[in-house]
Amino acid sequence: MGIMRWAFYSGLKEEYADAGAACGYTAKNTRIRNGLEKDHAVGARCTGGNPKSIPLDAIYMQKAAGRRNRQIHKAAVNKGGKRKLNQSPKYVFGFQLFGRVQMPGGLKGFIFGRRSSGSFDIRTLDGTKLSAGISCKKLNLLSRRTAILTEKEDMRLPPHA
């Protein structure tokens, strides 16, 4: 971030006059003065200048999903000069890569891998495997994929002072 930080900061200053820069030691100082425990969400509140603000009941995780596989053909050419396609179809049994699905038992996750046999690899955004190969017949599609995947984790954040 060395040089880019200050170029980015000066651009923000031109656009928003009240923009400011913060350092890690200011967040730590604010956290200690207010008697808060060390946590990512608490550090964000301290950096933002609102250490005593009431936290949300959930954390929202987001991840950018790739839009397409740009390699159209396999690198090796088959006999006869025919090139084999490297891309799988967009929809397999009506499911698309990174679609949000619900599994039996109420577990929700995203499709990270599809097979032509109809079994899918289901994971959460942090990479936790929910199923390495569940049948498409047992899945319920909740939403189609978007450019940015969002997952809500229902958990209580550290209590504020």
Task: Encode the chain (161 residues) as per-residue pLDDT tens digits.
Answer: 678 888 888 898 999 988 877 777 888 899 999 999 988 888 888 888 888 888 778 888 899 988 776 788 888 888 888 888 888 788 999 999 999 999 999 999 999 998 889 999 999 998 899 999 999 999 999 999 998 999 987 755 444 44
CA–chain centroid gap for 96, Å, is 17
Please check whether the domain covering 63-152 is classified as CATH 3.30.2010. no
Is residue 130 within 8 A of residue 141, CB to CB? The reply is no
> Any idea where the domains of the chain sit in the sequence?
2-53, 63-152
C-alpha 86/C-alpha 23 separation (Å) is 46
CA–CA distance, 121 with 110 (Å, rounded to integer): 8
Question: Residue 59 has what pLDDT?
Answer: 80
What is the rounded CA–CA span in Å between residue 74 and residue 56? 47
pTM of the prediction?
0.64
Q: Which residues have CB under 8 Å from 117's CB, separation 6+?
A: none
DSSP 139: -
Q: Which amino acid is at 79?
A: K
